[in-house]
């Protein structure tokens, strides 16, 4: 808004220098870019990310299967789970040896992280596998995909705003340096004894 007021103030002012008008136009251009380009960038990037994440959710749901594993024996308490895709309200709490049947009908047995508090032989719990029975992370849900897309859009918008503001500051800095250089030239032309008593200035 300061840029708009500045342009209005300088529109017919005899004291208005070309550099003042140019700085006001640069400020107004930066403001308009931030108001229109930044939200558009966020929407485009967020929409593209949403499409990509939706395809990923579909692919994961098509290739991952929830099966039931049966505890053979407990191996001990589980270390902290560091896989963000698997972090849920029912985080694995115990390490067990279990057996399960893959979607293709083959049997498997091996160590797994279980959501059971006190697992005993014969206890059952759900796990996610691929078609061959290899354990995988649970598929991403739609809410998580949407959150990632929104964050991508916000990040892109902030990046675009920073880019526009940086460009605006760079242009103004170069204009200011050019103005100072012209002032130095004028002072050099006037001479070092300008305004001294008895000088010809």
Residue 1's pLDDT band (boundaries 50, 70, 90)?
low
The pLDDT tens digits of the residues spanning 4-22 come to 555 555 556 665 666 667 7
Confidence (pLDDT) at 201: 47
C-alpha distances (whole Å) from 88 to each of 85, 94, 137, 161 are: 8, 15, 11, 35
**Does this model's pTM top 0.75?**
no
Using a 10 angstrom Cβ sphere, with 0-12 exposed, 13-18 middle and 19 or more buried, the burial of residue 114 is buried
Residue 161's pLDDT band (boundaries 50, 70, 90)?
very high
Look at 134 and 190; give whichever has higher pLDDT.
134
Helix (H/G/I), strand (E/B), else coil: 67: strand
Confidence (pLDDT) at 16: 61
Checking if the pLDDT of 108 tops 50, the result is yes
Checking if the pLDDT of 189 tops 80, the result is no
C-alpha distances (whole Å) from 173 to each of 24, 83, 166, 176 are: 13, 47, 10, 5
- Please name the helix (run of DSSP H) or strand (run of DSSP E) that holds residue 153, with its range, or none: helix 142-190
Residue 191's pLDDT band (boundaries 50, 70, 90)?
low
Q: What is the mean pLDDT of residues 164-193?
A: 81
Confidence (pLDDT) at 183: 75
Confidence (pLDDT) at 151: 95
Q: Above pLDDT 90, what percent of the chain?
A: 41
Checking if the pLDDT of 2 tops 80, the result is no
Using a 10 angstrom Cβ sphere, with 0-12 exposed, 13-18 middle and 19 or more buried, the burial of residue 28 is middle
Token digits of residue 144: 């998580």
The set of residues, in sequence order, having a beta carbon less than 8 Å from that of 112 and lying 6+ positions away, is 69, 95, 96, 97, 98, 127, 135
Helix (H/G/I), strand (E/B), else coil: 182: helix
Q: What is the mean pLDDT of residues 108-114?
A: 89
Which sign, positive or negative, has the C-alpha torsion 80, 84, 89, 93? negative
The pLDDT tens digits of the residues spanning 37-62 come to 999 999 999 999 999 999 999 999 99
Q: How does the average pLDDT of the chain come out, rounded?
A: 81
Confidence (pLDDT) at 156: 95
């Amino acid at each position: 808004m300061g840029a708009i007021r500045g342009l209005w103030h300088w529109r017919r002012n005899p004291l208005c220098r070309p550099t003042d008008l140019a700085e006001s136009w640069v400020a107004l251009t930066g403001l308009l870019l931030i108001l229109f380009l930044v939200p558009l960038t966020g929407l485009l990037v967020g929409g593209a990310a949403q499409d990509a994440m939706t395809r990923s959710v579909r692919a994961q749901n098509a290739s991952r299967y929830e099966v039931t594993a049966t505890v053979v024996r407990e191996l001990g308490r589980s270390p902290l789970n560091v896989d963000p895709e698997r972090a849920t309200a029912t985080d694995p709490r115990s390490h067990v040896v279990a057996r399960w049947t893959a979607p293709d009908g083959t049997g498997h047995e091996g160590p797994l992280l279980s959501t059971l508090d006190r697992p005993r032989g014969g206890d059952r719990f759900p796990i996610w596998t691929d078609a061959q029975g290899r354990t995988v992370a649970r598929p991403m849900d739609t809410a998580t995909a949407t959150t990632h897309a929104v964050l991508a859009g916000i990040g892109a918008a902030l990046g675009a705003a920073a880019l526009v503001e940086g460009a605006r500051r760079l242009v103004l800095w170069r204009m200011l340096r050019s103005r100072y250089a012209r002032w130095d030239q004028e002072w050099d032309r006037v001479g070092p004894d300008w305004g001294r008593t008895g000088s010809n200035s």
